[in-house]
Amino acid sequence: MKIICIGTTKGGVGKTTLTFNLAGILAKMGKILIWDIDPQANLSCNTGVNIMHPNIKTTKDILEKNTPPAEVVIRSPIKELENLDIISSNLGLHETEMLLVNRSAREFIIKYYIEDNIDFFEQYDWILIDTNPGMTVINQNGFLVADSIVLVSDISDNAAQGVEQFQYMWQNRLKDFRMRDNIKALIINNFDKRTSLSNELVEYYKNNEDLTNLLIKTVIPSRVKMKETALEHKPINILDANCDANLAIQKIAKELEERGIL
Ligand SMILES: Nc1ncnc2c1ncn2[C@@H]1O[C@H](COP(=O)(O)OP(=O)(O)O)[C@@H](O)[C@H]1O
Ligand SMILES: [Mg+2]
């Protein structure tokens, strides 16, 4: 079982879109759990889970009540992908953030939860955790439990800033936790080869000594079909396998595997 957490400090760069679509590909290769720890719950909505259902159990129940995984995990929400399960989120997770402030070892709750329920979690080949932008206590739970953190950058003026800020902040936290750096990859999303900014940004990352080794060679193109994956509740490999964005994410999965991340 490998745990991968997707992060950066900037919103709207494609973290959730990458998590969702990479998960679609992985679900054809093994068993995967996607875990939404973002109160916005975009990943949960992408899979078609009804996050407003009165009886739904979510990440909030895990963090506040230690609810057992068998009660929280939603099995196969996408019918074409039997091997994909989800722990969903909802807006209530905002309150949880406040409740955690005074809790001891508050950054380790998810880590200990997985350890305490390892028999359950070991059924998965991968656990893919989607965060929201920033360094909240809940996000830190995801970053800390991850074997690998994968950063995502879009193409915009301040995209690199989001990546560098994340790297700076997390490396400082790692010193506090006496842990080794687990940031392992950087993926560029929304690439448009016609724009000079796209090419300039790739060059910038290639020439940046802190980031060049993290850079995944394959970039994800900007495609309307990628937007549709959320509305259709189906990852791109199910929705339109011939789309070049699907082929790109397949290649990215291969690169991540070669690097020992997947
Ligand atoms: N490769 C892409 N091509 C086109 N639209 C994309 C692509 N990646 C993400 N988007 C769109 O950009 C918006 C933000 O993406 P999202 O994954 O929600 O970002 P984040 O999780 O980082 O906040 C969404 O509307 C999504 O559909
Ligand atoms: Mg998101």
Query: CATH number of the domain at 2-258, please?
Result: 3.40.50.300
**Segment 119-131 mean pLDDT:** 98
Enumerate the domain spans of the chain.
2-258
How many angstroms separate the alpha carbon of residue 190 from the centre of ligand 1?
A: 8
CA 18 to ligand 1: nearest atom:
17
For the chain, where are the alpha helices, taking DSSP H only?
15-26, 42-46, 59-65, 69-72, 93-100, 109-116, 118-121, 137-145, 159-177, 196-207, 224-232, 236-239, 244-258
- Does the model's pTM come out above 0.95? yes
pLDDT, one tens digit per residue, over 188-198 is 999 999 999 99
Please report the pLDDT score of residue 240 as a whole number.
98
Please report the pLDDT score of residue 32 as a whole number.
98
pLDDT, one tens digit per residue, over 10-68 is 999 999 999 999 999 999 999 999 999 999 999 999 999 999 999 999 999 999 999 99
Please report the pLDDT score of residue 257 as a whole number.
98
Confidence of residue 157 (pLDDT cuts 50, 70, 90): confident
Average pLDDT, the chain: 97
Tell which one of 9, 10, 17 to mutate to probe ligand 1, the residue whose CB is within 8 A of the most ligand atoms: 17
